[in-house]
Chains A and B, each alone.
Chain A
Amino acid sequence: MSAKITVENLYKVFGPDPDEGMRLLEQGLDKGAIFEKTGNTVGVRDASFSIEEGEIFVVMGLSGSGKSTIVRMLNRLIDATAGRVLIDDRDVNALSRNELIELRRRDMSMVFQSFALMPHKTVLQNAAFGLEVAGVDQETREERANKAIEQVGLKANARSYPDELSGGMQQRVGLARALAVDPSIMLMDEAFSALDPLIRTEMQDELVALQREHRRTIVFISHDLDEAMRIGDRIGIMEGGSVVQVGTPEEIVSNPANEYVRSFFYGVDVTRVYNAADIADRRQVTVLERPGVSMRSALERLYAGSRDLAVVLDRDQKYLGTVTAESLAAQIDGAGEPRYADAFVTDVEPVDATTPLAEVVARSASNRLPLPVIDEQGLYVGSITRAAVLRTLDRSGE
């Protein structure tokens, strides 16, 4: 495999005076300072990477990270401020207008987030758009467009108009339009982001399947990690206009370059979002302290359920304490009248329902037993086991 697209020290500064912006960048000023001083926005900053022939390269980043700008510099919809883009070792920025048009017609096509279909053209005519522009005669272009439509499974809808199709089908037309010109490079700008999740994964799988049939170099822009992992051979992660890490999905997951990259995997910090009541459950054995119900029967319930502790409540569901099978048995076998109060384990303190998860994590780490959760009236809400804490933390990593 060899490099199909090489990006070398690419910069894009938008605004009234890009050169001034570049000069300040060289002096080491950051994006915010440059905007404040000159009104110029740094879109892409010193991006360098290469994309191999035949791979799906996903450029990932939050909105405003420069990923859409960078992909538009590959086919020069946006002119770079500095740096080079080489496609098959030809410098795109040095091409004349006609050479550039030739390159766009022959070698690269593009799929857009909002589909960008022509509403006055049928599916077939839309798919043939690139060929029409390139001056291919009608018979040939319809034949090739038909083939592309068939590849994306829209043969039956060739004569429909875009507004008669669902979003997923419209994007298939967008894909067919890109495939019809048989390009060696396809640029896909958030191509599946506007689709609902089920259709999105379906389209992702289809793209991978198409890729199996005919390998093209695909540059795919996405803000969705799942998508990037699913289809990407390699992923480049952008932050604030810079490319912060390039690697295979495995490399990036196992060795994220910085906190920003890691944040894609962990999303929001759940320990600040959840509180104790959110993860408490009532699966623990509860016993009511009341006359006539013997402690012995409570112990038997614990043995029968192979549980080793019970939460003791009063008649109003108020939390009294926690007993373990051991403390209960010791109290029953001991001298004198057995009382729950004497069987309570001392190291279990109830937590308030509104306690943030971060604090619960600390508490449960230092305590083997499930933590009882009570509300402001002292009523029992439920218990938090260690397993529940771990499950919650793990879910956030999905």
Chain B
Amino acid sequence: MATNFRELIEIPIGPWVESGVDWVRDNLAGPLDGFAAGVGFLADGLESLLLVLPDWILAPLIIAFAWWRVGWRFGLFALIAMFLIAAMGLWRETMQTLALVIGASIIALAAGLPLGIAMARRDGVATVIRPVLDFMQTMPPFVYLIPAAIFFGLGKVPGTIATVIFAMPPAVRLTNLGIRQVSQENVEAGLAFGCTSRQLLYKVQIPLAMPSIMAGINQTIMLALSMVVIASMIGAGGLGNTVLTGIQRLDVGLGFEGGLGVVFLAILLDRMTQSFGLRRRRD
């Protein structure tokens, strides 16, 4: 039955996408190269920044930051995590992954937050963007690797770009949601005291949406981390490489070490970014 149907009607979605990708590659080479150069600059810059500092300077900095933002218990956890990462010989890989996560998150947020704000302010924008976000989130993340590799080759740049696409939706969604959930009376109060629409956004809506926006930022960073591991398949490097090597060699120990590094990084990033979501006062 299925084969019969396929013979009767054939809609070549796959080939269409392929020719579309080919067209983009052939005709938009200039802008793509420029974009790649920008992303590459950011990714390389962050990586060399994190690697130029020796571990005995960077690790204490991270531990101190964890202590300050979250508490001494978490500082202790950071200490143990840093120690184990260094002891497993994965310091360099961990920093590469961290650089990728930070780079991809910066780009994802730079695009995602304004997009979320635009969605909240105009229903039309929301109607267009929402299905795009659904698409981005439900498409299996491996699929992004293919066009990213075609357009940008192998390495950190396509890895970063695939990560950006995968990690951006929560920032957009939660920014939109947070702003829309600001209570009607608060918005009215802003307007009644004579806010312009720009003042309303910056003095009322964004501050009141902050917890939700911060949750979105946290989610974006966590998704970026999970995608960065997958992106190692197109040569993004870092801890993902370690895991990938473990898989290829069926080396359980190596795979576990790489995985543990990712888990440590995830917990550290999660708690530290969450700490910014809590309302800060008296500072």
Contacts and interface: CB of A to CB of B under 8 A. Distances in A.
B10 to A, nearest CB: 44
B194 interface: yes
B84 interface: no
A161 B193 contact: no
B188 to A, nearest CB: 5
A132 B203 CA distance: 10
Contact of A77 (B191, B196, B204): B191
B183 to A, nearest CB: 7
A120 B194 contact: no
B207 A181 contact: no
Given A120-B210, A120-B279, A132-B203, A109 B193 contact: yes
A119 interface: yes
Interface string A74-110: 0101000000000000000000000001101110111
A211 interface: no
Contacts of B204: 118
A112 B279 contact: no
A63 to B, nearest CB: 15
B181 interface: no
A257 interface: no
B208 interface: yes
A337 B188 CA distance: 86
A104 B192 contact: yes
Contacts of A116: 183, 185-186, 188-189
Interface residues of B, number: 20
A124 to B, nearest CB: 13
Interface in B265-283: 279, 281
B193 A130 contact: yes
Contact of A133 (B185, B188, B195): B195
A284 interface: no
A134 interface: yes
B200 to A, nearest CB: 9
Interface in B194-217: 194-196, 199, 203-204, 207-208, 210
B219 to A, nearest CB: 22
B188 A77 contact: yes
A77 B195 CA distance: 12
Contacts of B207: 118, 120
A133 B183 contact: no
B185 A113 contact: yes
Contact of A112 (B189, B195, B199, B203): B189
B281 A161 contact: yes
A114 interface: yes
Nearest to A181: B193
Nearest to A161: B281
Contacts of A134: 194
Contacts of A133: 190, 193-195, 199, 203
A187 interface: yes
Contacts of A118: 186, 203-204, 207-208
A106 B193 CA distance: 9
A181 B190 CA distance: 14
A263 B117 CA distance: 48
A110 B195 CA distance: 13
Given A110-B189, A110-B192, A113-B185, 15 more contacts: A72-B188, A77-B192, A104-B194, A105-B193, A106-B194, A109-B193, A110-B193, A117-B189, A118-B204, A119-B208, A119-B279, A129-B193, A132-B203, A133-B193, A133-B195
8 contacts: A77-B192, A105-B193, A110-B189, A114-B183, A116-B188, A132-B203, A133-B199, A134-B194
Interface of A: 72, 75, 77, 101-102, 104-106, 108-110, 112-114, 116-120, 129-130, 132-134, 161, 177, 181, 187
Interface of B: 183, 185-186, 188-196, 199, 203-204, 207-208, 210, 279, 281
